[in-house]
């Protein structure tokens, strides 16, 4: 039987590593898609910028301030979508959202089953108010892909 405390420690370390040293911090030069997001519940703010070529996210970055969960999620998000076709990035968005919000553990049809390091954030599901922290950057990414001008809000 696996030692779940070791797994929890590993996941905690992944989150704290991404909080201390966020990947892809800063908006990429020449980005052609961007959006802003705000979580009024806890004050998290994020801006996501991406550069796309031929339907592929060739560069992505974020600027933000907020809690450890919010920053770690944004960092993990950029790593998971960098270099992927937009439709695949959208599938990852849906799978991640389902991971945190579906009470029955189900996923949307046609979504990746292995989210890799993103699964470190699954524990957030036990704290419903923190789900908004973890998903803010993802909803902002989706708004950037869709070129939505209105800022994303978790409310």
Q: Across-strand partners of 38?
A: 45, 153
Whether 145 and 90 have beta carbons less than 8 Å apart is answered as yes
Q: Yes or no: say if 48 and 34 are a contact pair by the CB < 8 Å rule.
A: yes
106 three-state secondary structure: coil
**Number of separate domains in the chain:** 1
* Domain range enclosing 90: 4-153
Checking if the pLDDT of 142 tops 80, the result is yes
Count the residues in the chain. 155
Question: Would strands 152-153 and 33-39 be described as parallel, antiparallel, or unpaired?
Answer: parallel
The stretch 49-72 carries a mean pLDDT of 96
Would you report the helix, strand and coil content of the chain in percent, each value rounded to 5?
Answer: 50, 20, 30
State the average pLDDT over residues 22-27.
97
> Given a cut of 90, is residue 2 above it in pLDDT?
no
How confident is residue 106, by pLDDT bands cut at 50, 70 and 90? low
H/E stretch holding 114 reads: none
- What residues are paired with 44 via a beta bridge? 39
Residue 44 belongs to domain with CATH number: 3.90.1010.10
Model confidence band, residue 97 (pLDDT cutoffs 50, 70, 90)? very high
What span, in angstroms and rounded, lies between the C-alpha atoms of 47 and 143? 10
60 or 42, which is more confident? 60
């Amino acid at each position: 039987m696996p030692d779940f405390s070791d797994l929890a420690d590993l996941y905690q370390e992944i989150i704290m590593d991404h909080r201390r040293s966020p990947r892809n911090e800063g908006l990429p030069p020449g980005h052609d898609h961007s959006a802003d997001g705000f979580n009024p519940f806890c004050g998290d703010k994020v801006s996501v910028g991406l550069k796309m070529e031929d339907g592929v996210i060739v560069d992505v970055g974020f600027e933000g301030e907020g809690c450890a969960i919010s920053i770690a999620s944004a960092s993990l998000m950029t790593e998971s979508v960098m270099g992927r076709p937009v439709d695949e990035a959208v599938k990852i968005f849906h799978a991640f959202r389902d991971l945190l919000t579906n009470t029955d553990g189900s996923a949307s049809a046609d979504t990746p089953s292995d989210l890799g390091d993103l699964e470190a954030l699954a524990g957030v599901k036990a704290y419903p108010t923190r789900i908004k922290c973890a998903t803010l950057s993802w909803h902002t990414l989706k708004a950037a892909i869709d070129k939505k001008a209105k800022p994303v809000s978790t409310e």
